[in-house]
Amino acid sequence: MNSSTNNYLVLQPLWDYILAEFGGSVNSPIFPVLLAFSGYLCFSLPFVIIDMLGERCQFFYQYKIQKNKCPTISMMICCVWTAVFNHVIYVFPTVFLNWLWMQPVSLPVRAPSICTLLEEVLGCLILFDLQYFIWHVLHHKNHWLYKKVHAVHHNYAAPFSLSSQNLSGIELMTVGFWSIMNPIQLGCHPLTSWICNLLSVWMSVDDHIGYNFPWSLHNTFPFRLYGGALAHDLHHQKPGTNFAPFFRHWDLIFGTACSINENA
Ligand SMILES: [Zn+2]
Ligand SMILES: [Zn+2]
C-alpha cells in the first residue's frame, strides 16, 4: 500500500461516518449558515470570558493591545444581535437561493486525501485573502462605499471577539459569497468547503480578539507573514493600514503594512 493510498484512507472513515449519519443534514442550505454562526459564537466565547474578567485576571490582561478599552456587555449584545439579524435576513435567503440553483447536489462517496485537503484549504484562504484585500482597500479609498458599506465595522476602534461580525448586510454577504463560491470554483471537496468556512470564521474572530498573546498564530507563523489580532487591531486604530484579513504579504508589497513598533 503506497503513501498516496494511505492519504485517502486517513479521512475515508470520517467521511463515511458523516455520509451515513448526517448525509441529509449537511446537504441542506441551513448547514453552512449554522456552521458559520455557531463557529462565530464558540470561537468568541473564551475571549468574551477573558474580556469580562478584565484587569482581575492579569495573566490575560497583560497582553491586551488597547488597555482600558474593554467592551461592555451592551456592546457584545449589540454585535450578536447584528450577527443574528444579518444571518436571518441576508445570509440564509442567499444561501437558500444558491442551494436551489445548484440542485441536484450529491455528496461524493470518496474522501479527499490529506494532501488534497491541505492544498485546497490553503488555496481558498489565499484567494479569499486577496479578494478581501482588494475589496477592503476600495471601501476605504471610496468615501461613498466606506460610508454605505464598511463604516459599520469601524464602530469600534478597539476590537473585541464578537465585533468580528459587526458588519453591514452587504459586507457579510460579500464575504459569505466568497467563502461559499471559492471552494466551488476551485472544484474543492465539500469537506474542504466546511473546513474553510470554519477556518475563515476562526481567523476573523482571532483578528478581533484585541490581545497580543505570545502563543497566537501571528507570533508563531513563519516570517511573521500572518497578521492576526495585532495587525487588525492596528487597522481599527489606523484605518489606512493593514487591509489584508489574514496574511501580510499584500500589505508589505503595497506599503500599507503597519506594525506595533511604527504605531508606538
Ligand atoms: Zn475588523
Ligand atoms: Zn476597514
Q: From ligand 2's centre to the CA of 122, what distance in Å?
A: 23
Q: Using the mean position of ligand 2's atoms as its centre, give its distance from the Cα of residue 158 in Å.
A: 13
- Contact (Cβ atoms closer than 8 angstroms) between residue 39 and residue 186: no
**Predicted model pTM:** 0.91
Separation between Cα atoms, residue 260 and residue 99, nearest integer Å: 43
Expressed in angstroms and rounded, the spacing between residue 118 Cα and the centre of ligand 1 is 26
Q: Are 67 and 58 in contact (CB under 8 A)?
A: no
Q: Please, what is the Cα angle at 188 between 183 and 191, to 5 degrees?
A: 95
- Looking at the CA of 232, which ligand is closest? 1
Instruction: Please name which ligand lies nearest the alpha carbon of 79.
Output: 1
Find the 96 Cα to ligand 1 centroid distance in Å: 27
Output the CA 31–ligand 1 centroid distance in Å: 25
H helix count then E strand count, the chain = 13, 0
Q: What is the domain partition of the chain in residue ranges?
A: 3-263
Residue 262 CA to residue 259 CA, distance in Å, equals: 5
- Tens place of pLDDT for every residue, the chain, 264 residues? 555 556 668 889 999 999 998 877 888 889 989 999 999 999 999 999 999 999 999 999 999 999 989 999 999 999 999 999 999 999 899 888 888 887 777 889 999 999 999 999 999 999 999 999 999 999 999 999 999 999 999 999 999 999 999 999 999 999 988 988 899 899 999 999 999 999 999 999 999 999 999 999 999 999 989 999 999 999 999 999 999 999 999 999 999 999 866 543
